[in-house]
Structure 1
Amino acid sequence: MTGDALSFNEFASFNLAILVYFLGVRLNKKIAFLRHYNIPEPVSGGLLVALVALIVYLGLGKEIGFSLNSRDYLLYCFFTAIGLNARFSDLVKGGKPLLILLFLTVGYMLVQNVVGTGVAVALGFPTGFGLLGGTISLVGGHGTAIAWGPKLVNNYGVVGAVEIGAATATLGLIAASLLGGPVGNYLIERRGAKPDPDRPEEAPMIGIESNREADTSVTHTGLMRSLLVLNIAIGLGVGLQEALVAGVGLDLPVFVCCLFCGIVLSNTVPVIFRKMTWPARSRSLAVLSDLALGIFLTMSLMSLQLWTLAGLAGPMLLILFLQIVVAGLFIILAVFPLMGRDYNAAVLGAGFAGFALGATPTAIANMTAVTKRYGPATQAFLILPLVSAFFVDLANAAIILLFLGG
């Protein structure tokens, strides 16, 4: 701790995140509004702590900070688990919805940048300023905003691009967390996308042909097996990311490489070693995945420094307001009808709001909150992470360069 800051170390931050998660659970049980609009528990608890930190900063002049080193590992675990649960046969079956969602996402990214740059240019700001209110900070998130910031300052005359980008990404993450649940609720309750009570039960995300672990229970051996496979895939993902940077200069996010390695392992190892017990789609792996997502998102939201939003200029706030409106309309008028107007489409709508303005973990949390109330939506959980976590990062760089003129 210093005179102007109150900092929590890694151990304290991690355990505080668990407490804040349970605070969110408690808030959702007590406050009907949060339940009705499917606000995820990490969002409820995390934003409350962020507001408390803001009050402390404004009242006492002290910044509350958390150590977030373990957060990256939790992110890797979550996306690796998604990869381990993916089967090529499922992707083939869901090929058409996957392609439709991919084209919708690319189309939306173009729309998002048109809105951002259009408003910026109309108000006399450079194109790069508008992109900070577009896919650089919103679809791209904090990492992309920080990565592009120096280039926008040096090459495109956007003063304070790093700070503006980080603040915009913060506000986008909040908007994404709060928009997904109400959008999903609207599509289900008002647009007739309630799950059919007579439909066949969707296959749970557990169990593959070679898996001999009991899917109905969580065991210590199952947890250890799942954790070991997760760590092996993460190690391969980190190595792949480093090799791509050194070999061809392709700097993909580490979690994308971990997701890819998880997919490859789950579609090769059980085929080659048919007698091996593989943890894909087991309840033990699901527990680890849920734990990683819950604590990751809680840590992300409770550590938001809301006082940094004061640096956002009025024009950027206008752009952000329009982006929220456009995202909601795009989901209702394009994503929902083109994805089938059914329950899976409604859940995808909640998830789309999550990564369109925030990040893929926010999208998954939004969908999880909706499905906890209404029932499973296996297809939504299968195809959205592949689009939002894998294809989006590849497409975003090309789209940003397109708007910047190469």
Structure 2
Amino acid sequence: MITLSLPPIPTLILCIFVLFVGIYVNQRLKLLGNSNIPPSVTGGILFSVLTAALYFIGGVQLLFDMQVRDFLLLVFFSTIGLAAKLSILSSGGRALVKLVAVAAVFLILQDIIGVAIAVFYGVHPGYGLMAGSISLAGGHGTAIAWGAEAEAAGLYEAGTIGITFATFGLVAGGIIGAPIAKWLIEKNQLSPNLIEATEPHDIETATVDVEQDPWDLSAILTVIVLLALCVQLGELANQLLFKRNILLPGFLTAMFAGIVLTNAADRLKLPVSHSAIAKFGEVSLSLFLGISLMSLQLWSLASNFTPIIIALLLQTLTMTLFAIYIVFKVMGRDYDAAVISAGFAGLGLGATPVAIANMDSTTGRYGPSPKAFLIVPLVGAFFIDILNASTIKLCLSLMGNW
């Protein structure tokens, strides 16, 4: 076996080329683009297939330096924290509170199912968390982040398993969302509230700030300073917590630092370009996923194929039933509730873009739902990661950590 190791900068350069490949393939294959599969996922998985072929055919194993990836992880979760402005969150009202509560229950249910499957197959319950909310509701970023924590604690290939669930969950969430809404709407003979649909409830109106030009130099420098502060304050918080025997991943403390900083800036009325924050988040996540996915060792999944498929099918079935019988009823049994159910299916198995695509497909056929397009993105953008982190820590404490 020949082992080739790439240092940090060549790894980053190769990742960028992999992203360009993903963009090209998504543009050529409309199924991938319409399914909201990120280019980093497309390109990264294609490259990992290539490395698997090199491993089996040529006896060559590629290893990548992960220093850049680990830093990008901190940056990405910092952008999530910096986007969590209380002034925006308060615009969702009671419907937002209901959906957050529903999401909290579902995350626990998702982890219970994952752990139960792991116990049934006689493996460590930590693998069950990787087959639960870590990868499905959390997505690729959360799967890789917690996967690294699990592997450091001795769970072999936990990150690879998490990425597998996150990828298939992304597809499954896009497949079941619109059919769920169609069944609910036609079964209950629902129609949109046209009066409410004409009111200015769009999510863009929830923010009253005058947005800076995201490419303005002062705006970019301000965001860079805030991101650096998030990373540094998160590290300091971890050091203080460690002295008290409290262990938290670095990306969580960086995210919470971002929440504090953005709301402090909001209270002091300091100008912060949230478009620039979103762009930094998009770039850091794409590069982070690209490096993580192109370093996958797919050959390690062969022995776990059957339990992975069973877990994916059970989680998809659970999501379908939960959206129909819980989300729809709690959110009011009306047309908006049906559209929200479609969005929740995308959110619970995939990511916010999948949720939006599900709702867009539904409203394009049956009519508008401003309420759904307000609260589902708010839950996906702000609450799901915070709720998921709390749920995971609760499960780990009950399990006695990894």
* TM-score normalised by L of structure 1: 0.76
Aligned residue for 2:215, secondary structure, equals coil
Match for 1:305 among 291, 297, 302? 297
Q: Aligned partners of 2:313 and 2:390: how far apart in 1? A: 26
Residue 31 of structure 2 corresponds to residue 33 of structure 1 = yes
- Whether the aligned pair in 2 keeps the contact of 1:39 and 1:181 (CA below 8 Å) is no
1:263 CA drift (Å): 1.6
Residue 320 of structure 2 corresponds to residue 323 of structure 1 = no
- Map residues 37-56 of structure 1 onto 2, 5 A cutoff: 37-56=35-54
The one-character-per-residue Cα deviations of 1:267-309 (angstroms, maximum 9, x if unpaired) are 223433x4x4333x2x322221221122222222222111110
Choose 183-192 or 108-117, whichever is displaced more: 183-192
1:63 CA drift (Å): 1.6
The one-character-per-residue Cα deviations of 1:216-250 (angstroms, maximum 9, x if unpaired) are x5223322221122112221122112212223x22
Aligned residue for 1:341, secondary structure, equals helix
Aligned residue for 2:232, secondary structure, equals helix
Partner of 2:285: 293
Number of matched pairs: 374
Q: Aligned partners of 2:18 and 2:151: how far apart in 1? A: 32
1:133 CA drift (Å): 4.6
Q: Name stretches of at least 5 consecutive residues in structure 2 with no aligned partner.
A: 135-142, 186-190
Alpha-carbon distance change, 96 to 116 in structure 1, aligned in 2, over 3 angstroms: same
* TM-score normalised by L of structure 2: 0.77
- Map residues 63-212 of structure 1 onto 2, 5 A cutoff: 63-94=61-92, 96-116=94-114, 118-119=116-117, 125-126=121-122, 129=123, 131-140=125-134, 141=143, 144=146, 147=149, 162-163=155-156, 165-186=158-179, 200=200, 202-204=202-204, 209=209
Partner of 1:350: 346
Amino acid in structure 1 at the alignment position of 2:243: A
Aligned residue for 2:62, secondary structure, equals strand
Q: Aligned partners of 1:86 and 1:183: how far apart in 2? A: 29
Alpha-carbon distance change, 67 to 304 in structure 1, aligned in 2, over 3 angstroms: same
- Whether the aligned pair in 2 keeps the contact of 1:136 and 1:400 (CA below 8 Å) is no
Choose 186-195 or 99-108, whichever is displaced more: 186-195
Residue 276 of structure 2 corresponds to residue 278 of structure 1 = no
Residue 380 of structure 2 corresponds to residue 384 of structure 1 = yes
Residue 265 of structure 2 corresponds to residue 269 of structure 1 = yes
Residue 232 of structure 2 corresponds to residue 235 of structure 1 = yes
- Whether the aligned pair in 1 keeps the contact of 2:352 and 2:377 (CA below 8 Å) is yes
Choose 136-145 or 15-24, whichever is displaced more: 136-145
Match for 1:57 among 52, 55, 58? 55
Partner of 1:396: 392
Aligned residue for 1:299, secondary structure, equals helix
More helix by percentage: 2
- Whether the aligned pair in 2 keeps the contact of 1:39 and 1:369 (CA below 8 Å) is no
The one-character-per-residue Cα deviations of 1:24-68 (angstroms, maximum 9, x if unpaired) are 221111112113322222222221111111111111121222222
Q: Name stretches of at least 5 consecutive residues in structure 1 with no aligned partner.
A: 152-160, 355-362
- Whether the aligned pair in 2 keeps the contact of 1:244 and 1:251 (CA below 8 Å) is yes
Q: Aligned partners of 1:40 and 1:195: how far apart in 2? A: 33
Q: Aligned partners of 1:175 and 1:109: how far apart in 2? A: 18
Aligned residue for 1:309, secondary structure, equals helix
Match for 1:244 among 230, 241, 245? 241
The one-character-per-residue Cα deviations of 1:74-132 (angstroms, maximum 9, x if unpaired) are 222222222222222333333645543444344334433443454566x5x54xx2724
1:174 CA drift (Å): 2.5
Alpha-carbon distance change, 263 to 6 in structure 1, aligned in 2, over 3 angstroms: same
Name the Cα RMSD after superposition: 3.8
- Whether the aligned pair in 2 keeps the contact of 1:183 and 1:349 (CA below 8 Å) is yes
The one-character-per-residue Cα deviations of 1:364-398 (angstroms, maximum 9, x if unpaired) are 56457779998994543432344332232222233
Q: Aligned partners of 2:287 and 2:206: how far apart in 1? A: 22
Q: Aligned partners of 2:124 and 2:308: how far apart in 1? A: 8
Alpha-carbon distance change, 111 to 344 in structure 1, aligned in 2, over 3 angstroms: closer
Q: How many percent of aligned residue pairs carry the same amino acid? A: 24
